[in-house]
Amino acid sequence: MNQVIANMSASLDGFIADQADGIDQLFGWMGNGEVEVPTAVEWATFKMSPASARYMRDALAGVGALIAGRHLFDITQGWGGTHPLGVPVVVVTHEPPQDWPHTENFTFVDSVEKAVEVARQAAGDKNVVVASAKIAQQCLNAGLLDAINVDLVPVLLGEGVRWFENLSTAPVRLGDPAVIEGNGVTHLAYPVIK
Amino acid sequence: MNQVIANMSASLDGFIADQADGIDQLFGWMGNGEVEVPTAVEWATFKMSPASARYMRDALAGVGALIAGRHLFDITQGWGGTHPLGVPVVVVTHEPPQDWPHTENFTFVDSVEKAVEVARQAAGDKNVVVASAKIAQQCLNAGLLDAINVDLVPVLLGEGVRWFENLSTAPVRLGDPAVIEGNGVTHLAYPVIK
């Protein structure tokens, strides 16, 4: 059975962006190493530490679909029509864009429940990754999240966009993580205990 | 040279207590294992996983003094006069208690600068541990913190008492952590980059 995994880069104090949506402090590990990890698009090739590169290749190989929120879709301009993961993207929004041309790669739905259903179907036996904080919160509250994979970056932002807030079922217990030590990041993969 | 180390148990989303100052969700790792780790007091003996026990014994052996805030001192009732670490305690407060009998183990000062100075002196060549969130914040803002040791607990609290907020120097960059994988906890020791 495929898993629904929330995955983001986060600061040690739990933020996934600064107050201006900036992520400069959190994505250095994707470009600070010697090992190239190509993606599905020409404009994004990672250069990582060997440990992070192995982690990322495994993650890329295991992902079959992505769920994003409308905010992330908008600020990335829909990744230009192809997400770097090269997988179908399901966007949760109450107002689907009317003129979005890349309909073959994108589906717009109005709830996280529908998003998980559509993404699971698209992913086949691969995993579904949830890439937006608010959507991850909603999935967690709805009992739809199987794992939380944190790319934990050694920085304190003090304030910003929190990954997990508005949790209706807190405290949410997790299992101990699988740990991979990178350079400028510690990858922690936590199972959600249901 | 001894180090000034902020050390606390924290949830994955960055809280060191729930909104009612509760810590039940965060200290299970200190009692969920088979290896006994005695402390300086009879009322506190840890029972930990082998990995956490090794970590804790090393930590205990390396600590020479503790800095706490007044709130922590009050809610623990001054640990009954002897902190489980068995080291001198420096309490930061503007209103020292008038009737505190255990003066041999406790010093009251009115700033984090004085606290670090007094604690360093008391610790000799051992480390100083900062055990309160607000004091850790003030030390970090004053450039007095050398390391942040997180006992990262696999739980999301959603809300509560944050370890790091009001950071005047954010973003605060840290080095990659030393990692020890426990049971119900991941010990991450981060150097502060100055």
Gap between the Cα atoms of B3 and B139, Å rounded:
12
Confidence label for B93 from pLDDT (cuts 50, 70 and 90) = very high
Q: Is A147 exposed, middle or buried (0-12, 13-18, 19+ CB in 10 A)?
A: buried
Judged by CB atoms closer than 8 Å, whether chains meet at A171 and B164 is answered as no
Say if A106 is an interface residue toward chain B (CB within 8 Å): no
Residue B107: its pLDDT value, please?
97
Residues 6+ apart with CB under 8 A from A88: A64, A65, A66, A105, A106, A107, A119, A122, A123
Residue B150: its pLDDT value, please?
98
Judged by CB atoms closer than 8 Å, whether chains meet at B183 and A165 is answered as no
Say if A159 is an interface residue toward chain B (CB within 8 Å): yes
CA distance A168 to chain B (A): 8
What CATH code would you report for B4-191? Answer: 3.40.430.10
User: What ipTM score was computed for the predicted complex, to two decimals?
Assistant: 0.94
CB pairs under 8 A between A and B: 108
Q: Which two tokens stand for residue B154?
A: 């696999």
Asked if residues A17 and A161 have their Cβ atoms less than 8 Å apart, the reply is yes
Out of B157, B171, B175, the one facing A25 most closely (by C-beta) is: B171
Confidence label for A126 from pLDDT (cuts 50, 70 and 90) = very high
Judged by CB atoms closer than 8 Å, whether chains meet at B172 and A188 is answered as no
Residues B19-55: tens digit of each pLDDT: 998 999 999 999 999 999 999 999 999 999 999 999 9
Question: What is the overall mean pLDDT for chain A?
Answer: 95
Residue A127: its pLDDT value, please?
98
Count of all residues that appear for chain B in the document: 194
Contacts of residue A157 in chain B, CB cutoff 8 Å?
170-171
